[in-house]
């Protein structure tokens, strides 16, 4: 039984800077997922704080906000069967040294701090994260 889901995916500043956008989009499309919204943005400090609010107060929080606002990011809404779980599996572990070969981070990321890509870890988080960057009218209905 199919469970059609939408999830938020973002290619981080290091992924954009290293020109990995086409490679990553290709992997998403080859997996059979649909990109139903996409935009290149220079994230504001406010959007970054909203995106990472669960980490507020942790030692790495300020570095995270500084890093994610340091250059353009490519924000996407990706849809498909079990899209949240499929994308999480595709991106691999946060630390690229622990990410399996064949995953986006396992193949492309250089460090835990610059790990190329973000994907929501739950449907609830996906809804929140999509709403930070996209209005309903910017998301193409299947």
30 is in an annotated binding site: no
- The residues pairing with 5 across neighbouring beta strands, listed in sequence order, are 80
Decide if 118 is catalytic. yes
Q: Name the catalytic one among 118, 120, 133, 134.
A: 118
- Strands lying side by side in the sheet with 117-119: 34-41, 73-81, 4-11, 117-119
133 is in an annotated binding site: no
CB of 4 within 8 A of CB of 84?
Answer: no
- Map residue 71 onto helix, strand or coil: coil
Phi, psi for residue 72 in degrees, rounded to 5? -65, 150
Task: Output the CA torsion 37→40→46→52 (10° steps).
Answer: 70
128 is in an annotated binding site: no
Contacts with 105 (C-beta within 8 Å, 6 or more apart), sequence order: 91, 92, 93, 94, 96, 99, 115, 116, 117
Binding residues for ATP: 12, 60, 88, 94, 105, 115
Active-site residues: which are they?
118
């Amino acid at each position: 039984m199919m469970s059609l889901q939408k999830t938020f995916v973002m290619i981080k500043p290091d992924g954009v800077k290293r020109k990995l956008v086409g490679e990553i989009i290709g992997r998403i499309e080859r997996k059979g997922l649909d990109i139903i919204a996409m935009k290149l943005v220079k994230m504001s400090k406010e959007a970054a704080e909203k995106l990472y609010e669960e980490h507020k107060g942790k030692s790495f929080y300020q570095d995270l906000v500084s890093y994610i606002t340091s250059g353009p990011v490519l924000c996407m809404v990706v849809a498909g069967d079990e899209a949240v779980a499929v994308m999480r599996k595709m991106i691999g572990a946060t630390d690229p040294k622990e990410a399996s070969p064949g995953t986006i981070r396992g193949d492309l990321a250089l460090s835990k701090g610059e790990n190329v890509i973000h994907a929501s870890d739950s449907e609830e988080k996906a809804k929140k994260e999509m709403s930070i960057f996209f209005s309903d009218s910017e998301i193409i209905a299947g």
